[in-house]
Structure 1
Amino acid sequence: MFSPSGAAGSPAATPPTRARYWVVVFAITLAVIQYIDRVCISQAAPSVSSALDLSKEQMGWVFSAFTLAYALFEIPTGYWGDRNGPRRVLLRVVLWWSFFTAATGWVWNWSSLVVTRFLFGAGEAGCFPNLTKAFEAWLPTRERIRAQGIMWMSARWGGAVTPYLVFLVLSVMNWRLAFLVFGLLGVVWAILFARWFRDNPREHPSVNAAEAALLPERPASSHFAVPWRKLITAPSVWCVCGQYFACSYAWYFFITWFPTYLLEVHKFDLKSSALLAGLPLLLGGAGCFLAGALVPRFTRRFGHGGLIRRLFGVVGQGGAALCLIAATFFSQPLLAVTAIALASFSNDLSIPCSWTTCMDVGGRYVGTLSGMMNMVGNIGGFLSPIVLGYIVGRTGDWNLTFYVTAAVYLLGALCWWLIDPVTPLELSEESAA
């Protein structure tokens, strides 16, 4: 049973409390920390490569070691959250990845760096599926897509400030000590989260009866059999995973090779490169926020919520493909960088729709489904830095990588058009029965 705070009698006796918004605050801060810890390696890459004498191909494998682990551990950590609740999982994975963020500064050669970044990625894999699981338990349906938009905006903006933040930190300490400093951020978050969060909002002392009445009846954790066959064979699951593959394949360029692109192709200095490296993530965050605000508004006005989500996905990924192609025609550096940043903005119009689709389609299996989607997406993210590293390393042609990425985006737009983003798996199971 929940403990009312100032509530007496029926849920209607007092206004609902707003404890659920603290879950959004915790999600925002963790998303920012996660992206700082993830993105700092790209800005530090020149220093790391120089210290360890790494080639572009080797650095591509360093970037992708994280993403491979991130992909492989998505389903296990999402399923773990479905079975045991997000609190236990989030505390463990945040402390795990924070340790390996610090450990990045302790490496001594290429092999140790690859292993450390792989173990770091295994921890970060639990973040967004379990935050989405927490949203599913703590937020009414009408508030979910906006919360996803705000959370992903914050994640992108955390990543956007990271290049310049790393530049400033590296101006006062070496890269090894910098990774230790970044690792401490997650430890502070975990302490505060452990004291406040409950898997079941009705057990939280700050949630009164009126707020509890707004929330889903389903408990945050329960024992059930995941319908693996349904997940593997459902067309919407294939499509939502396919579009996220395209999205992540393209997006990983921004947090891996983009600072190097700025230095080598457009000859920016280190300070200018650090400032401009955050521009795609800054505009990407704006795209997340805009989609989170507009999709529910358009749905209330016009209905057809599923169609509106699909249109945002198609326009987002199709528009991103066009922006990348346009960037190859600009010889003026700032115009090319602006076109690339607009590709990120367009890309991120689909992000809140992707994760809210997992919530609506997955239901009580949301952790598992969102983990599956993010796993497939990050297989794309794993391949992207390697493919780009080999294309540029062997041909020196950055434009070719943009054409390949634009083609992947167009396949993602096709997947979005084929998705049914609103019909729950449980409902389709009942219909089949």
Structure 2
Amino acid sequence: MADRVSVTTRTGYGERVGNSFKKIFGGLLFVIGSIVLLARNENHFFVTKVGLNEGEKLVQDADAQQLNPELDGKLVHIQGVTSSPASSLQDPRFGVKADDLKLIRSVEMYQRSESSSEECHDNYGGSQDCTTTYDYKKKWSDSAIDSSRFHETQGHQNPATREYESETREKEPIIVGAFTLDKAFTSQLTDDVKLPLNGQELKLPAQETEYTSSMNNNTETSAETSEMTEQLSGDASTGEQANGALTPESANTRSGASSKKRFHVDDSMIYVGLDSHSPAVGDMRIRFSVVKTGTVSLVGKQSGNEITLYKTSNGVDLALLANGKKSSTEMFADAQAENLGLTWILRFVGLVLMYMGFAMMLEFIPTLAKVLPPLAGLIGFGTGVIAFAATLVLGLGTIAIAWLVVRPVIGIGLLVVAIGGAIAFIRSRKKDKKPDPQTKDSAEVVEV
């Protein structure tokens, strides 16, 4: 089956005009949605900012190694090393062990993916020819790709299910000094590092597993290898080795075995498939990583011997965690910067959605002129300018009104800018329509 499929369709003038009028309603929904997004975004920014300011004023430094009953129920800042009294973690399926805070299994599957591109050409008379090209490629993905949604499903199917899934195992409890950390903090421990498989006792079937030479850092002598081969052969005949756990050090015994193995193991991953050098759809790569103990800084509520979420007077939840040693001032500054960064991202998203909405609402105007494509292009440029101007005015106006409630001075300033922009745009349009003064003077002279 071809990896590229092209489909060409023609849309008549009447259908295009009808579709453009239908987009007016969709565009209106986009504009309304963007207004809600911008308003809620500004409110969230202000509420979070006030909550962080309150927290910075109330926070007190505490000794992580010793409980202070006087600080119970208060917002505290501690520094210390994470640890856990729990036993080692083990992956139940593959037997990988780690004496760390978290053991993470990451699974990727080799799958088919679909991407599409569209090229359209306007015809005189108002019709349009569009060619949609669907490209199908194979790639590694950590999530399942639903091939039933592909335009061309035949020959591009992916497995409906995955034999192995990604998962994270975590020690409980995780502590810092004398304090036990709440889930709000342990969920932020995400700085993981690769876990080598060398030395692990993997739960894999002997007849279906092949280890690469990289797993054998200490090369054994020929005599030792021969002796181990005989021993394993004897074990295999009794059925003991087939069901037992395997270590990478047993790789030498299968150096001459058939390459048609289902599991291929090296120091970095377990490969599930016949050939890791030529992956097939459905093959899987399984890697392991761990979150190790380390120094962290925390800001949260001291509740007995626990550090939990702290709720400010305006309802903001505070649970700050940073790797390494950081003062409370630094941590709150980082939180404020993160809050501001998220706000600007959502502002941009809101304005883009608003522009798209206005563009959809005005699309019927250039569509009516599609009988003459060059004329429609000029009109389309004009409606694009109008949509952009309307976005700036309404977008800034929405942000200004949101700020009027909490910071009137800032809100009024933004509102003035929005209104000024609207007036400037209207005047520029009127100026374009005024006759040239020189032409007017010439006409008066002739009349005299």
Report the TM-score when normalising by structure 1.
Answer: 0.24
Report the TM-score when normalising by structure 2.
Answer: 0.24
Larger RCO: Structure 1 or Structure 2 (Cα < 8 Å, ≥ 6 residues apart)?
1
Q: Which has the higher strand share?
A: 2
Q: Which has the higher helix share?
A: 1
